[in-house]
Structure 1
Amino acid sequence: MAENGLNILLAEDDPNFGIVLKDYLELHDYHVTLSQDGCQAITAFRKGKFDLCILDVMMPGKDGFTLAREIKKLDTETPLIFLTAKSMKEDMLEGFRIGADDYITKPFDSEVLLYKIKAIMHRKSGAQVAEKPEVTEYSIGQYRFQYKLRLLHLNGETHKLSPKESELLRLLCQRLNDVMPREEALLRIWQEDSYFTARSMDVYIAKLRKYLREDPSVEIINIHGQGYRLCVHNGVML
Structure 2
Amino acid sequence: MDLGLKGLKAVVTGGTKGIGRAIVETLAREGADVAFCARDAAGVASAEARVAALGVRCFGAALDIADAPALKAWVGEAAAALGGIDIVVANVSALSIGADEDSWRKGFEVDMMGCVRLVEAAMPSLATSAAASIVTISSVSGREVDFAAGPYGAFKAALIHYTQGLAFQLAGKGIRANSVSPGNTYFEGGVWNQIKDGNPDLYRTALALNPTGRMGTPQEMANAAVFLASPAASFVTGTNLVVDGALTRGVQL
RCO higher in structure (CA 8 A, sep ≥6)? 2
TM-score when normalising by structure 1: 0.30
**Structure with greater proportional helix content:** 2
Taking structure 2 as the reference length, the TM-score comes to 0.29
| More strand per residue | 1
Larger radius of gyration between Structure 1 and Structure 2: 1
